[in-house]
Amino acid sequence: MARSGNGLVSAPTAKVLALALALAGVSQAMAAENGLQRYSPGVGGSDMTTPLVAGWYVQMPMVAYHANKLKGDDGRTEVKATPGPGPYAALRSEVSVKADTYALLPRVTYLDTTQVLGANVGFTVMLPLVKRKAVFTSSPLYGELGLPANATLSSNIQSNFSRLDGSEMGIGDVEVSPLLHWEIGDHQAVTFAPTIVLPTGDYKATQRVNPGYGNFVTFRPSVQYAFIGDGWDIGGRAVLSFNTRNKDTGYFSGHMFNLDWQLMKFVSDDVRMGLQGYFVRQLTKDTQDLTGLNPALATSSNLANGNKASVNAAGPAVGWLKNGGEMLLEGKFLKEFDARNRTEGQAFWLTVSKPL
């Protein structure tokens, strides 16, 4: 039996709450190549702090992410060198972006009663449907040079940044993973998922905005821990992403570490509330090897600092159980802060989950 606000709930209720490991999906903005990473921070829901029982599950997380800030290595608005003629040779520009990501992340998960090493075994599969849009703008810092604005030069600079704009919709990269789930006590559980993400998504190397991430493979092991008590439930998911080099562009996106966390509590028999959040840290630098490739595919990013990205986020979450377990509807709003080498924005998540 699993616990509710009154202490116990039925097995069907536990099955609804035990959502499949939502281990990746759509990137949220500017990290690694073209601002992408193969994990969607914040995708974890009430599954992180509820028991997982044997059976089939379907899950449909939906996310809308919006950002209009592009942060540099110092956490301030990104500034790029945009040299012009004559006295404008040392000109720089502030760079901003309006980035929008909309995604459906349909997932099917199965957990069996068979055990290996004391853990129930299973699998999970997810194929995202993605729409991405990005519009870049520049504001030349003429005041730094003490020179008057130059309309022609400003227009030329903006034209160069506008080449990064794009709007694309399509299928993302499929991910598959076996599952190992341990119940390590009456109130604790651990789940391990060694996920492989394959380059099946719509992708063109000449575009900055794509539904897919690129022609490379990601190995993404994750460990999830849950403590389910009589008060606040505490859950966390630690995720490491190891990337191969993109065969089309020669770009290597540095390895990533993500930690999703949450504290949730039943405030009634069918309503759960709490806080959720995440932090992202890029562990190794981006690099690019153009040997044998078209130099036109070189990234427009500055690799001097390796584009090592980081960001934090936090916000409220609420979940509703229909008829004690037929379906779970969960929504949350996560606000990002302290971003480095990526966008800084906010995301609204709505997740519908149901056991079969």
pLDDT one-digit tens code per residue, 230-248: 777 889 999 999 999 998 8
Residue 5 belongs to a domain: no
Residue 2 belongs to a domain: no
Separation of alpha carbons 136 and 218, rounded Å: 28
Number of separate domains in the chain: 1
Residue 62 belongs to a domain: yes
Give the CATH number of the domain where residue 190 resides: 2.40.160.40
Residue 51 belongs to a domain: yes
Q: Output the CA–CA distances (angstroms, integers) from residue 249 to 259, 289, 293, 332, in the order listed.
A: 29, 8, 7, 36
Residue 86 belongs to a domain: no
Written as six digits, the tokens of 96 are: 């901003």
Quick: pLDDT tens for 75-132.
Answer: 888 778 888 888 888 888 888 888 899 999 999 999 999 999 999 999 999 999 999 9
Question: For position 219, what pLDDT does the model report?
Answer: 96
Question: For position 24, what pLDDT does the model report?
Answer: 27
Question: For position 10, what pLDDT does the model report?
Answer: 31
Residue 267 belongs to a domain: yes
Residue 205 belongs to a domain: yes
Residue 1 belongs to a domain: no
Q: Considering the chain, what is the average pLDDT of its residues?
A: 82
Instruction: Report yes or no on whether pTM surpasses 0.85.
Output: no
Residue 219: closest CA among 187, 280, 173: 173
pLDDT at residue 34 tops 70: no
Separation of alpha carbons 112 and 191, rounded Å: 13
pLDDT at residue 331 tops 80: yes
Question: For position 336, what pLDDT does the model report?
Answer: 95
CB 169, CB 211: distance < 8 Å: yes
**Which of the four pLDDT bands, split at 50, 70 and 90, describes residue 299?**
low
Instruction: Annotate 288-306 with b (16+ C-beta within 10 A) or e (fewer).
Output: beeeebeeeeebebeeeeb
φ and ψ of 272, to 5 deg:
-125, 135
What's the rounded mean pLDDT across residues 159-168? 79
User: What is the span of the domain harbouring residue 176?
Assistant: 11-80+95-355
CB 71, CB 339: distance < 8 Å: yes
